[in-house]
Amino acid sequence: MDLTPKQIVHELNKYIIGQDEAKKAVAIALRNRYRRSQLSPELKEEVTPKNIIMKGPTGVGKTEIARRLAKLVKAPFLKVEATKYTEVGYVGRDVESMVRDLAECAMRLVKEEKTQEVRFKAMAVAERRIAKVLAEVKKDERGEFSREVFENNLVDDIHAGKYDSAVIEIEVSDNPKPLELSPGQGAAIDLGSVFGSLGMNRKKKRKITVREARNLLMAEEADKLIDNDSVQTEALRRAENDGIIFIDEIDKIAGGSTGGIDVSREGVQRDILPIVEGCTVMTKYGPVKTDYILFIAAGAFHVSKVEDLIPEFLGRFPVLVELNSLKKEDFVNILTQTHNAITMQYGALLGVDNIDLQFLPDAIERIAEIAEELNSSSEDIGARRLHTVMEYLLEDISFEAGGNDYPLVTLKIDRAYVEGHTQKLFQVCGGRKHLHVTGFSSGK
């Protein structure tokens, strides 16, 4: 997808408020990938991604920017925490496992795309298999019948969902999960592949609903229609050229992040260094070159500083962007302008129980003020503070609501309601305290 940087930022604006500098940096990095793909093969080999460090408090959009960026172009995306890795020689996960995990993400992504391409054909075969099973069940009820005509009628009914809740016994493939011999090292034996190569495709009978059987058999038939070799080749290509690895909590492995001595902290940086510089990591699908993977590192850097990272590591992340703490205006925009606004989410949830939840403008403003005040007076957790405020605000409504037999009720949340139901938020320290609801305005 050859989106321009402005178009990329426009798409990111639908989900993330503010942080224009960070959005611009990732948009340029993404566009440069398209530009690189248009170069001659000789020059293309020389152009590598310009990795990014995002500095900013938690909850301001660091991870969301990277995740939405990858989703925008359907790129393999992996988020890891730097603190989960240890230096070579210590017990724990080695840094190469992040590349193996990215390869798994790429395989899953490509497999899903290929499955969608053959979904219609695979579903038709699956419904025919279910119809044969149902025909046997119905045989005793009907006596003699034209099997072909009856099965065709059953296929139409199955497709229409008339038998979704019916339980049938059907034979499906039994593929054992891969057995990982050494956790974190990528060494695994796929017993299903072993049995398959020996001509021992195991089957087992299961009693499941037609709806479950349709999805299960559709996936099974799709596997037969998909060329696994081409899926593997495409997955490795995407992992190498389109992959994005987001390394969070990078500040926790920087020198100066703690007062004690941690001999493995700098070692983790040195182990990550060759991955970022460019090397080849063996995965169970084949070798993956990391030269053209885009790495985005992020951290709050409250205690340590970006400069505390070792120079070699810092040199591989030439782009540094700082994300700002969220203000009242940002919270208002998050509540009203984003496509996945939290007010919309709560409205949809309570709508299941016939409650039409409406937030008046003065209520939105007060919620934003409370979120800003709490972040400034206690730990700054960014937009996640809105979840705290909303849970307190709607706790009793969520508890009292329930039952589809109730008539539709409209609840209008105004500033006074917000004041009455969040007054104890500033007093809560170390545990939730019960909030007494004074009432709410309602109307049909």
Percent of the chain with pLDDT over 70: 82
Q: Count CA atoms closer than 13 A to 282's CA, side-chain side.
A: 4
- What is the third-level CATH fold of 5-101+240-322? Rossmann fold (3.40.50)
Average pLDDT taken over every residue of the chain: 82
The whole-model pTM stands at: 0.80
Render pLDDT for 400-425 as a digit per residue (tens, 0 to 9): 887 666 788 888 999 998 888 887 77
pLDDT band at 260 (very low <50, low <70, confident <90, very high): very low
Which residue type does 34 have?
A: Y
Say which residue, 25 or 404, is predicted with more confidence: 25
pLDDT of residue 261: 42
Say which residue, 151 or 322, is predicted with more confidence. 322
pLDDT of amino acid 126: 87
Please report the pLDDT score of residue 215 as a whole number: 87
What is the per-residue pLDDT for 156?
82
Domain ranges of the chain: 5-101+240-322, 119-225, 328-443
The band of 143, judged by pLDDT with boundaries at 50, 70 and 90, is low
- The residue ranking higher by pLDDT, 344 or 260, is 344
Q: What per-residue confidence (pLDDT) applies to 443?
A: 39
* % the chain with pLDDT above 90: 36
**Range 328-443 has CATH code 1.10.8.60:** yes
Q: What is the mean pLDDT of residues 278-304?
A: 91
| Residues whose CB falls within 8 Å of the CB of residue 391, separated by 6 or more in sequence, listed in order | none
Q: Is the pLDDT of residue 281 over 90?
A: yes
CA distance 71 to 64: 10
